Structure 1
Amino acid sequence: MARDYASRCPVSPLRHTVLVAAVILLVAQGIRAQKVRVEEELEAYPTESVDLRCQFIDGGGRTKLTQVSWIWEPSDGIRDNIAVYHPHYGQSFPNSAFKDRVVFLHNSLENPSIRISNLKMSDAGRYTCEYATYPSGNEQGTTTLVMLAKPKNSAKVVTVQAGTKSVVVAQCEAADGKPAATIKWLASVGGNHSTSTTNGPDGTVTVRSEYRLVPTPTDDGREVTCRVEQRTQEQPWVYPVKLSVEYPPSVSIEGYDNNWYVGRSDAELLCMANANPAPTTVTWTAASGSLPDTVVVDGNKLTVRKVDDAVNTTFICEVKNKHGASRHQITTIVIEALEDPLSVGMVAGAVIGSLLALLLVVTLVGVLLTRSRRQQRRGYPSSGDSIATGSGGSNGGDYGNKARLLFSGGTGTSGGGKNGTAANNNGPMYTYREGCDATGTLTEKANDFHHHHLHLSSTGNPSSAHDILLSGEMGEAERRKFDLDDSMEEEEEEQYDRFGGGDMLPPAYHMRGGPSGEEELDAYLDDDMESQRDGSVISRTAIYV
């Protein structure tokens, strides 16, 4: 198919000639470009140095080098020689702007590289290494020098006054940089920014950015951040700016606790002001006129040495700065004197302690009375009761000194023929006597009781409590004293049963007697009896029922 297309559209001889000529020209240019070897582009910074390399390459060795020149072409397009080297005439530096800053690295036509020191931003441009040759003419190669400049970054706050218009509150600048820098703002205050650029005479660019907002007192102290990005910086430059918004004072009074009572000392009020700049003056006054004599003012603090009716007034605090003045007032109310909280606490503690002690005493008395009543009901002597024993002789009958009498108090006579302490006739009398019958066995004799007096039975022995209860000679009052509470008696019986009856009583409560007769019993009683302060004696172990 390609053959068909060639046969239908043959190439004309003229067109063929043009194509061949173009190819030859391109090859010739390529060969010529290869003769002078240079670097296409270099980057440098002000005050630094740069080496511009140049080398002539002659493949056939038939070209004769006559002279080499370095030509500088700035951005405005004006060409000028800055360095020339001739093998016979030496070096030449015709441009005064590069004098003493340009040197040849090698005294050779084949390698006429130069070094430019103490670079300036204005040195940027195209540098051409040009050879004068024979027979081909001039050969050249061009290097573009790009001058870079690190910007001088800065950011600052602009002090403003709170208002209703949008104003510049912060500025950020990247000066004398090349290429031009980019500035961004990071902020949460809700403003906006604008950016401008200025070109310097040496090719540098200065970029400025301004941040704007409608300032309020709450914006004072908040931060906005400037971020600068530029080619010469390895990482962005970041700088936070703290806003400064000035505003007149706002005032409040603190310290009043609604407890200014007569006699209170060192009551304080504090005048708190929020302002920028700081307040210049703080003034305390009273609505009633001059401050009371007991008031002392120290800056923003007002102290009442002693609270009295004179400070029952309205205090006013006024604060000023360069943007204005503001005031606040508070009315203090003086109340009646209160007791010292420490004293009140001590009194309350004493009262509570007394009540607790009283409750404890009442409880103890109740327990003692209950136990006393139980003992009385079971036949034990209560507190204050006494037991007297009569000493027997030949006239003492069978009981002798074994008799045991329980009295409520008072004086009387006991059996056995001798005087002793007897019970008060205001209460019942219990008599328990022990004796021996004809066989030497210990027996119990009962006494008769009638109308609170001690009676003897027909046998001469006092009647027992049981006999008295069974007799009809006791009055109603006396009978009530012998009544036993069923519930308490049942409880006592249950406690008795837990011990297994009389056999389970502790050994100290068993009567120690034996067949040895009255002498052993007498020895036991003598050891068992205990003398009391009122002269009576009671048994330590006997159980009275």
Structure 2
Amino acid sequence: MARHDARNWHDCTKMIGLLSLVTSVIMHGAAGQRVKVEPEVLSYPGQSVNLRCAFTDATGIQLTMVTWIYEPKEGDRINIAVFHPNFQPNYPDSPVKGRVSFTTSPPNLASPSIQITDVKMTDEGKYICEYATYPSGNEQGITFLVMLAKPRNSASIVTVVAGTKPAVVARCESADGRPAAQISWVTTANGNATTGSKLAGDNTVTVTSEYRMVPTAADNGKDISCVVTHRTQTKAESFKLKLAVEYPPQVTIVGYDNNWYVGRTNVVLTCEATANPMPLHVTWKTLTGEMPETVVINQKTLTVLKVDESVNNTFVCEVKNRLGVGKDQVTAMVRGTRLPEKGPTTGSIIGAIIGVIILLAIIGTAIAMYRKRLDNKDDPPKYKPPPPKKTSSSTDRLNASRDPVTEDRPLQNQYYSTQSAEPVTDLDTYQDDDDDGAHGEEEREHYYSAAPSGWDDPGNGELPPPYVYADSDAQDRSNVNRGDSFVSPAMFV
């Protein structure tokens, strides 16, 4: 039980201490806000700087004394200026003694700003304006004096020999700057940079960066840039360089087309070489040791004036520089006859034909689609209205009774009623016909006029009203074409 109480008391003590610390920090922060200073002041060597300080709200507080304290980056605090209303300003021994003073004479406790002349790089650090007040105690504000020094920037290329081990190929330096500069590299070469800094006696910094890589012949002449960024510069400073990698000659012979036939003239071999430093000497020779008489050499070119059996040989080109020798060789085979030349335009012709076929296909497709669109616009509507109702005329009925085969005749011979208001009479109904007279009486259809006639439909055994015709009319009636419509003569009742 006692152990448990002791543990609780220890935890409570820790909590009280933490709360006291937080309260102290809050109270100190709230009080410190009343001492108004500039957070940061920038200056260059040789200039004069003003460090301003003021107590913003002294209501209910008595300002007793003000002290300026200098705290270097590395070292102890030092009082550099003290003012009490009852005494003269005092400037204790310090690195800035003789160069520091209050800006007003006599100084004012409400605004005890100071001035430092001929500032040096070593003057950089914290400057604390501290008030002794009653009853709240000391209150302070802190200003950081940042000394600036524009650096001297430079970059250079380091010439190296191609190899298998990493080497420094470029250097970049930003000397005597404050604060320290930042250096970066921009290049397509495969390497990395190492950067270091050195502090000088006057508090300036020199930054050096080296670019390292395994140098190869392919890296020679590649672009590399050193970029220096510093607070005193409005923009980054860039140094554009080119890598310098030395390597022995790399040689290639060009010009042999495997078509050296007897009698061919003026064939040329060219010895192409790359090296750093540039090649100093080019030598042509053959594996047999003797150069044919028809061969003419002019530095890097070898010309065969006329091909014969003597140039059926291996030609060697050697190039030297101070790092070594590079060589290449070509074996020439002399033919009895000339090789047939390939048609240079065969591939072009085939490609052109394929292109024309594709173009025609595209054009044909476009035309077909265009015509189809026009046909769709001209097509009749898919819905087809029903045809007009067909009505049987007297002539059709007569034809049906006289010739049963008329059902198979074309429709153009059929008659469609025009719904005329005038009655239409089929006189052939009552014509005596030797072929079907008796039979027609039995199968005679009832007569229906196109318009009301006032007569009832005759029944079986009844005759329709008498009609009077002239002889000529009867003859005309017999000549009426089937399917034709006509108007009957006047009736006499």
Q: TM-score, normalised by structure 1?
A: 0.45
Higher RCO structure (Cα 8 Å, ≥6 apart): 2
Q: TM-score, normalised by structure 2?
A: 0.49
